[in-house]
Amino acid sequence: MKIKKQAFEHWSIDDSSDIYGVPNWGCDYFAINSNGELEILATPGNLDSGVPLLDVVNGIKDRGMDMPVLLRVSNILDARIKLLHTSFRKAIKQTQYQGVYKGVFPIKVNQQQQIIEEICRFGEEYHHGLEAGSKAELIAALGTLQDREACLVCNGYKDEEFIDLALYACRLGYQCFLVVEMPSEMNLIIERSRALNIKPLIGIRMKLSTRASGQWTESGGDRSVFGLNTSELIDMVDLLRKEDMLDCLRLLHYHIGSQIPNIRDIRAGVLEACRVYVGLVEEGAAMGFLDLGGGLAVDYDGSHTNYHHSRNYTIDEYCVDIVETVAETLNSKGIAHPTIITESGRATIAYSSILLFNILDVTRFEPSSIPDAVPEDSNEMTKDLMNILKTMNAKNLQENFHDAIYYRDELRILFKNGRISLRERGLAESIFWHIMVSLNKEVKRLKYIPDEFEGLDKALADIYYGNLSIFQSLPDSWAIKQIFPIMPIHRLNERPSRNAIISDITCDCDGKIEQFVDLHDERHTLPLHELRENEEYYLAVFLVGAYQETLGDLHNLLGDTNVVSINLTSDRHYEIVQELEGDSVADVLSYVEYNPAALRDSFKQRAELAVRENLITPTERRAIMTAFENGINGYTYFER
């Protein structure tokens, strides 16, 4: 057996760290220990504070929960809130800014109760508030946010009930801003504030002409469906002046995208907004708050570039650019510095959620064995394929590649026309794939890889079947080809010998992941280890805290996963803060209008009829009904 030289080379945890890019996307929250296990760090960057993810997985299993599991780490969420505020405070001190910073978390980014409660609990020290874009989100905010110094920003379309709730929040002492998204809302706000005799805190959302690059930037520019254009803005100012309520206009808001990769776009948006803010002050509006919306990006691929999965700036640079731009623009007009608000949801929450799952099976892409020579009565093109395999060398790779594809395709045509047998077609296909495997090995030695060979790795990749639904847990991976960091959580002191793509357990060809993090480009396969008999192999998907839970769907009736929230302690242990069982089969059936009890009764009747017809015995009926009960009450995912 031929053994590649690299199999003898030493493999270290540093090699795994490089190949999976942990230092690039991990933001010092993750590291690989000497046992080859991925750890979560209780203190960012402190390698002595790590807890192995494998220990967490084993602890979850010991408590009776199966994979997949969505793991929430409160320490990371707290660290992100702290980082945002300390970075802004540092920028404010550095630029001698005269205002303060107050962050708000947009509830739509992750609406789960435990998340919102933790943000409000830990964020109270920094007066970190919430943003609500619907009536339901406002009610969630009012029932959770206790800090009256925090900002509560109300965006979205508002009916009378929504406006009344926000006004009553003001009466209760909250800094609750009603942000006008469309001109008709202003009249209703004025009407309801007078009816309730409550002075409103009014904000206006402005359509900036600035457009940002990136994947989620349709909320910027003249054609944005949100906000007011300049003429509408002036009309609103005139209306408030007419109603003697210009002192109620306190906040200017804009939003040009939720993942802005280029710092120049951020600075351009802030500058334009500051010019509008100056104009509103000059019109006589009270103002005092400048809400710059979202946009602080997450570096999903760790490349630190302006690619749409990344960002070309640090959080410190983001904060300094904002504070400097606001200060310089307003200083030139002698206008007081406002409270700066940002709605940084993605950057706050993404890192704190991790999807854990096990691999169930593997389809290895290895062509079947072939004889040393083809039968004499074989077609000439089958013989030509064998000749390519035997004579291939580094000097004729492209020629052999093109010839092999030609012969393979011609032989398929011959088969369709009944001119070669099924057995010969099978032999020809096996020879062809042996050629491709050999080609791929030779190509990896080339300094320059021709374009036609770019897809070879993917074509030859194994398929690792993960116990998850991409549609439920990673909808952005399917819908918009969002890249998330994915890697094994153990065996990282071993060389990964297989290249693979990941398939989920849905019956859908879109239920796969074939784009992976790479420092220089997108990688179409993921290096993984050989499965071992009677041993689980665990992978984790990182940075999944933003949007994924809410956007997930019930494809193939695979429901919500189990959820476990943990807090890392200072002694390298963890505490389970909350456990939420994932959907049972009965749960998901009820979501799509089935009555589980009725299904049970109907099946029981069929089983009893089978007894009467002597198809089964009463004992068999009991076993069948037990299997039905276990199924309908069980987890929707694969259970070991």
Residue 340 zone, left/alpha/beta (φ > 0; ψ -120 to 50; rest): beta
Give me 592's structure tokens.
Answer: 């799509």
Q: pLDDT, tens digit, for every residue of 467-510?
A: 999 999 999 999 999 999 999 999 999 999 999 999 999 999 99
- Which homologous superfamily does the CATH classification assign to the domain defined by 97-351? Alanine racemase (3.20.20.10)
Give me 623's structure tokens.
Answer: 């076993």
> Which amino acid is it at 505?
I
Q: pLDDT, tens digit, for every residue of 193-210?
A: 999 999 999 999 999 998
The distance from CA 445 to its chain's CA centroid, rounded to whole angstroms, is: 35
Tell me which fold the domain 380-457 belongs to: Methane Monooxygenase Hydroxylase; Chain G, domain 1 (1.20.58)
Interatomic CA distance for residues 545 and 374, integer angstroms: 55
Interatomic CA distance for residues 382 and 363, integer angstroms: 26
Low-confidence ranges of the chain (pLDDT < 50): 1-8, 216-217
Pairing of strands 175-180, 249-253: unpaired
Domain boundaries in the chain?
A: 97-351, 380-457, 585-633
DSSP secondary structure of 179-240: EESSHHHHHHHHHHHHHHT---EEEEEB--S----SSS-TTSSTT-SSSB-HHHHHHHHHHH
Give the neighbor-by-neighbor strand order of the sheet with 38-41: 30-32, 38-41, 50-52
pLDDT of residue 455: 83
The distance from CA 385 to its chain's CA centroid, rounded to whole angstroms, is: 45
pLDDT of residue 224: 65
pLDDT of residue 448: 82
End-to-end CA distance of the chain: 36
Give whole-number Cα distances, 153 to 203, 293, 393, in Å: 9, 10, 66
Q: pLDDT, tens digit, for every residue of 226-246?
A: 899 999 999 999 999 999 999
Interatomic CA distance for residues 546 and 355, integer angstroms: 12
Question: CB-side exposure of 351: number of CA atoms within 13 Å?
Answer: 27
Residue with tokens 């769907």: 553
With 0-12 / 13-18 / 19 or more C-beta atoms within 10 angstroms meaning exposed / middle / buried, residue 4 is exposed
DSSP secondary structure of 49-104: GEEEHHHHHHHHHHTTPPSPEEEEEHHHHHHHHHHHHHHHHHHHHHHT-SS-EEEE
User: What are the b/e assignments for 15-41, b being 16+ CB within 10 Å?
Assistant: bbbebbbbebbbbebbbbbeebbbbbb
Q: How many CB atoms lie within 10 A of CB 475?
A: 20
Residue with tokens 């110094």: 149
Give whole-number Cα distances, 338 to 112, 138, 201, 271, 335, in Å: 31, 25, 15, 14, 9
Number of H helices, E strands in the chain: 22, 23
